[in-house]
Amino acid sequence: MTGFENDNFLRACWRKETEYTPVWFMRQAGRYLESYQKVRAKHDVLTICKTPELSAKITTDAVSELGVDAGILFADIMLPLEGIGVKLKLVDGVGPVIERPIENQKQIERLSGFSPQEHVPYVLDAVRLIKHQLREKVPLIGFSGAPFTLASYLIEGSPSREFTRTKKMMYDQPELWNQVLTKLSRIVTSYLLAQVKAGVDAVMLFDSWSGCLSPADYRDFVLPYNQEILADLSGRNLPRILFGVGTAGILKEMREAGSDAFGVDWRLPIDNAWAVLGEAAIQGNLDPATLLASDKLIEQRAEDILGRVGGKPGHIFNLGHGVLPETKPEKARRLVQFVQQSTRNRR
C-alpha cells in the first residue's frame, strides 16, 4: 500500500484505519459526465474500450473531476468474449446484445483459447497508461464480469429480468452448465491476472445478476466458480471485491466465496449486510437514484449509512449500483466531499 498519495481505499479494503471513509462510484466514468459525452459523441463504446488513450482519458478525467479515492478502468465486461469471437453489440440503454445466444455444445466449445495478450491487448495497454497518468495519486481498480453474469448474457442474448433460459440450462442440462461456467471461469481468471500484471491495484468481480438466484441455486450453480477465481487471485497483497445486485437473500452464501470485500446494494441496511458478511470489508450502499434528489436528502441518506457503519474500519462508500445517466455531476462531487469531510472530522 506504500507509494500512493492517497491509499485510503486500499487501507479500507484491508479493514485498516483510514484518514476518512474513502469514496468511489461504480460507473463514475460514464454518461453523466460532460467529458465522457464529448468523447462518446465521436466514438462508439467498443471503439473507446479498444483505444487505450480514450479509455485512459475517461478513467482519469472522472478521478480528477470527482475527487474520488480510486479510479476504475473504463471497459466493458463483455470484452474478453468479444475478443474470442462472440458477435455482440453494446446497445445504448439496453446493454450487450448477443447475435447468436448459446444453445448447444458446439457453441460452448468456441469459448476456448482466450489469451489476454492476444485478444484484449488494448485493455492491458489502457491499464499501463492509466497507471502512468494517475502517478500513484490513487489506486486503480481492474474488473471482470463473473461467470454467472457473463453466462446470462451469452444464454439469454440480452439483459433479462427473469433469466429463464439461463435457469433452464442450469436445471435441465447441469453438465452443459458446468462446461460453460468452467470455460468462463478460466477466461475471467486469466483476464484478471493479466490486469494485475499490467498494474491494477485491486480487482472487482461483477456478479451483477446473481441476485436473481435462490440461496440454494447460488450455492450449487455459481459459488464454486467464484471461489475458484478468487482463490487464484489470493496471496498477491491485492484486494478482491465481489459485487452483486439484489443479493440480500444470498449474502450468507456469497460470504463463502472468500473475497476481501463485498459490494452491496441499498435493499438491505449496510449494518445488517455487514453482520452477515462478517470478517470482510464492505462497499456501498446508497441508492443511485438518491443522487437525483435534493442536496439535503442526499446528505441525510449518506449520513444514515455512515452512522450505521459507526466508523468501523473496512467501509468503502459507494452506490449500490452504477451512477445513473441523469445524475448531475455536481451532485456526485458534493457527495464525495460530504463523505470525506464529515468522516475526517470523526477520526
Reading the block at residue 150, the C-alpha cell is 457473463
The 3-class secondary structure across 84-101, one letter per residue, is CCCCEEEECCCEEEECCC
Q: Where are the alpha helices (DSSP H) in 18-137?
A: 34-40, 45-49, 52-66, 79-83, 105-109, 116-119, 121-134
Is 344 among the catalytic positions? no
Which is catalytic among the residues 20, 36, 122, 153? Answer: 153
Which is catalytic among the residues 15, 31, 219, 308? Answer: 31
Which is catalytic among the residues 40, 69, 191, 217? Answer: 40
Separation CA 146–CA 223 (nearest Å)? 10
Q: Which of 83, 92, 98, 99 is nearest to 50 (CA)?
A: 83
Is 171 among the catalytic positions? no
Which is catalytic among the residues 69, 76, 207, 265? Answer: 76
Is 153 among the catalytic positions? yes
* Helices and strands in the chain, H and E counts: 17, 9
**What 3-state class would DSSP assign to 50?**
coil
Is 31 among the catalytic positions? yes
The continuous run of DSSP H or E covering 298 comes out as helix 295-309
Amino acid at 194: A
Which is catalytic among the residues 11, 27, 186, 240? Answer: 27
Task: Cite the beta strand spans of 207-309 per DSSP E.
Answer: 240-243, 261-263, 281-286
Is 40 among the catalytic positions? yes
Residues with a catalytic annotation lie at 27, 31, 40, 76, 153
